[in-house]
Chain A
Amino acid sequence: AQKITQTQPGMFVQEKEAVTLDCTYDTSDPSYGLFWYKQPSSGEMIFLIYQGSYDQQNATEGRYSLNFQKARKSANLVISASQLGDSAMYFCAMRDLETQGGSEKLVFGKGTKLTVNP
């Protein structure tokens, strides 16, 4: 069974500094996808970034980048130049694609609460 582990319940960072949120995963499938979502206090789930297991380069989306280390089974999210609006819960998730059933499921970690201090 696939599993996502986020070991940092909470993280603090100063505004304008970079921060890394950790995510490790466990799967026996050679093909998988990794996602990061942001959940602000308002509650909605906002997609940030995606990394496929066969992607050669680390994914980047604006200030977000994914430090993908396949051998270590880690997919850490790096937020550069933190802003006050980055304060939120961050969830790492893995795509479990059932080729026979023709569906996909997302398996989520428990999340990391990021607080950006002024």
Chain B
Amino acid sequence: NAGVTQTPKFQVLKTGQSMTLQCAQDMNHNSMYWYRQDPGMGLRLIYYSASEGTTDKGEVPNGYNVSRLNKREFSLRLESAAPSQTSVYFCASTPSPGVGTQYFGPGTRLLVL
């Protein structure tokens, strides 16, 4: 049982390049989330998807877009990367809102030069 998987594990981009971070869960969870973690900070919510077919902005959505491809997959896209987006990105899922804990993926470390 893989849980929540993320690809890639590490990526280096140049300013202005685009990329998509992939996330998949095999736990049949309804809700999925994207967070970023900066040094000295806790995790901050970028976007979330309460259920398949819905997405909403979190605390820090600027510069990002998301797609809930199906129930399993939730991708995060950087259209034009900026150095301020250098961070560690975590994907998480939960069975349903208010139920249990959020399960986190291993994270993607992104460096924008």
Q: Which residues of A contact B (CB under 8 A)?
A: 4, 33, 35, 37, 43-45, 47, 50, 91, 93, 95, 97-98, 101-106, 108-111
Contacts and interface: CB of A to CB of B under 8 A. Distances in A.
Given A109-B42, A110-B42, A44 B104 contact: yes
Interface residues of B, number: 26
B63 to A, nearest CB: 19
Closest 6 CB pairs of A and B: A108-B42, A103-B50, A45-B104, A104-B97, A47-B101, A108-B43
Contacts of B43: 45, 91, 93, 106, 108
A4 B59 CA distance: 14
B74 to A, nearest CB: 13
* Chain A, interface SS category: strand
A104 B56 CA distance: 11
A102 B50 contact: yes
A91 B42 contact: yes
